[in-house]
Amino acid sequence: MLTEVGSRQFSAVPVEQLYTQLKCAKDGLTTGEAAERLKRQDKLFRTESQFKKELKLLFRQFFNPLVLLLVVAVLLSAILGESSDAYIILFILLVTGLLGFWQEVNAGRAFDRLKKMIEMKHTVLRNGSTVEVATAGIVAGDVLKLAAGDIIPADCRVVESDELHVNESTLTGESYPVEKAPGEVDATLPLARKHNCLWQGTNVVSGTARALVVNTGSQTLFGQMAHSLTQTPETAFEKGIRRFGFFLLRITIILALVILIANLYFKKPLFDAVLFSLALAVGMAPELLPAIMTFAMSAGARRMMKKKVIVKKLSSIFNFGEMNVLCTDKTGTITEGNVKVKDIVDAYGIASNEIRLYAWLNAYLQNGFPNPLDKAIVSLNLSLNGYEKINEIPYDFIRKRLSVAVRNEQQRIFITKGAFTNVLEVCTSVRSKNGDTEPISADIRDEIEKRFIAYSEDGCRVLGLAVKQLENEKINRRDEQQMTFVGYILLEDPLKESAQASIEKLEKMHIGIKIITGDNRYAALHAAQKIGMKNPVVLIGEDLDKLSPEALVIKAKQTDVFSETEPHQKERIVKALQKSHFTVAYLGDGINDVAAINAADIGISTNNAVDVAKEAADFVFLEKDLAVLAEGVYEGRRSFANSMKYIFITTGATFGNMLSVACASLFLPFLPMLPKQILLTNLITDFPFLTIAADRVDEDQLTMPGQWNLNLIRNFMITYGLHSSLFDLATFYILYFHFRLSESPFQTGWFMESVITEILIIFIVRTRKFILKSKPGKLLVITSSIAVLMAVVLPLSPFADILGLSIAHTRQVIAIILLLLTYVITGEWLKRWFFKRSAQKG
């Protein structure tokens, strides 16, 4: 660490002095030195161990305010002599907490294993050779080799650079790339003017460099700002959960207070009344929701991994389930992504070996970011023929050109290739058929452009190629003018055989497809028609820029293909679709996709994408295929549906129980159920509830995007809560007024009815179909059967006296069975009526 000059003052220190202070060399550290520094670095930054993380998670299970209140009340009760009840309640709370902890820690470990698969790697000099090192393994004194697409892992000094441009928007807010070069800069200058420094968290847009690592971890500028910069916005599902939690908390507190006041009014014992109210409040709280959501997400992540999708942020799985618009590029998703050179021809469409060599030299000698187009051209395997490179001007997304200067014994040549329009605009002459040059007249330009359109309509990706003679060996961007247009590079990337079927599958899942590509309008239209889009509406980048934000919202909704787009336009398109209330996914793998991936509700990248694209994404596909995407959406919808099942079940059943208890408190001279019996009810039903996350989901629930709807949950809670309360009160009436039961026999009757109705509602609500027409998950059936068996067996077991359970006679059991049968029949009818009515309103 460079403590002598401070964390941001190293811009003014000569590079040679930095090497001395950091005790390193120009060819990097040795493996042993790096390992020793990494040990010291870990101690200095005090990275939290896995044990401490899991210990915090364990304590968090018991820091629910309601649980803490109950623990305090139980301890007071034990001090005052009610020790047996206190121990039983504490035991139940402990088992419930450990169950939640076990579920979350398993999910967390599985997620950590997935994250390691997409860990960022950086090219570092060690022992004088280049090696790949993970971000966490970078130390002060390392020498990095950087290229376009790399994320910068530490604060560094530029040692060497070649047209290096860096995006520093994460720190400065300025989206335009900043040029970086070696040198010394006054330490008092602002961050944006320190052209010789690189900052952690920024990324290379174009060019190459060698940089010396000065500060890492919390000592970097980004590390000091980490708290504010790492706050990620809530997903739609997370917002819904938070709002749902506050809503349920208000209901719980109000009902618990009403029940407490009623019990005190009727002169019930103070501690019994307090414990009873708190136990009900704990029962009403969906304490298993975090565990169930985590299990659903981690199980979904594991299933998605088998389908070649890595989940970087678990909560994004629910967003995947809500997705209804997919924005995708063309290359690699709709096409094979295996670009090949079809031909290289002159301005008149005639194949030429000389022009072929110029194209190969430009692609072979460039040192910028490797891309499939240059790889295809390099695969021609030509010979340098005595040419050597002088310098280059790397590709960027503004110029859309790449220029390389070469020389041989006779001449110096400046070769430019890139997007056809961008190359043609810097040309003033054209290579004629006899090898001479002639000015580009209006007629010749028209002929060149018509040939370009024809090639594009035939499905080719067309690049332009231009050259000129150089007078000296110094080059810069101003040399890209007054050039001679020499021909076209024709590339082909065949459509995937599966593309049309995949898009049809996505459309059946009610997901709209928007193709966003930098390709020209003719090639993009050709691809869209080939995959079955009927009369696709095309919007080009130039026309998009003329639209106001309000007009773009309308136009984006109507457009199928966005062509000739630039990076900032892709982001505008995503935001315009979001303003139309779409949940938008964006699939891309290049530097030009990063802004759109960040802006989308679901950012998707691929395993072979540039680092900055993978870092921005929520999901990383090991295969760039729309068929994989469809499988991922299914998993997202399945996770969403199963989490919603638990929310519906727990709110309907527990709200009904609390409501009926509030009513019963007005006329019963004793507590309808003891606090330990309420908590035991929760514990028994927790096991089946946990397995809901792995339950089967009906196919018809997977064909539509999942949507968070608090109004629907509230209405369901009231409807099913009243239904549940009605049967609770019927149970109370039969047990108290008909059978004349009180205290333990009464409480046992309600205990059995409560447990079994909560289990039955799982099977009613888990499907929108008739209960017998939807097959539940095997684990759900097993745990539910065990829970029902426990409710029946416990009153007859040796533990019955400790738990305050006893059965007066068999008529009591028969009456409860008849009530339960009626509950299932009416609950099934009510479910169908409720969801049918909700669908009509929606």
Catalytic residue numbers, as ranges:
329
Question: Three-state SS for 484?
Answer: strand
**Residue 141: C-alpha distances to residues 14, 35, 330, 636 (Å):** 15, 12, 42, 44
- Classify the C-alpha dihedral 155-161-167-171 as positive or negative: positive
| Amino acid sitting at position 421 | T
Question: Three-state SS for 312?
Answer: coil
What is the rounded distance in angstroms from the CA atom of residue 632 to the CA atom of residue 638? 10
Q: Nearest Cα to 614, choosing from 626, 598, 636, 630? A: 598
Q: Nearest Cα to 543, choosing from 524, 562, 516? A: 562
SS3 string of 772-828?
Answer: HHCCCCHHHHHHHHHHHHHHHHHHHCCCHHHHCCCCCCHHHHHHHHHHHHHHHHHHH
Cβ–Cβ under 8 Å, residues 724 and 660: yes
For the chain, count helices (H), then strands (E). 31, 23
Q: Tokens in use for 683?
A: 């514990």
What DSSP line would sit under 238-307, residue for residue? HHHHHHHHHHHHHHHHHHHHHHHHHHHHTT--HHHHHHHHHHHHHHHS-TTHHHHHHHHHHHHHHHHHHT
**Residue 387: C-alpha distances to residues 212, 360, 404, 406, 454 (Å):** 32, 12, 12, 6, 34
Q: Nearest Cα to 675, choosing from 277, 276, 285? A: 276
Question: Three-state SS for 680?
Answer: helix
Question: Three-state SS for 578?
Answer: helix
Please, what's the largest Cα pairwise distance for the chain? 114
User: Buried (b) or exposed (e) across 783-804, using 16+ Cβ within 10 A?
Assistant: bbeebbebbeebbeeeebeebb
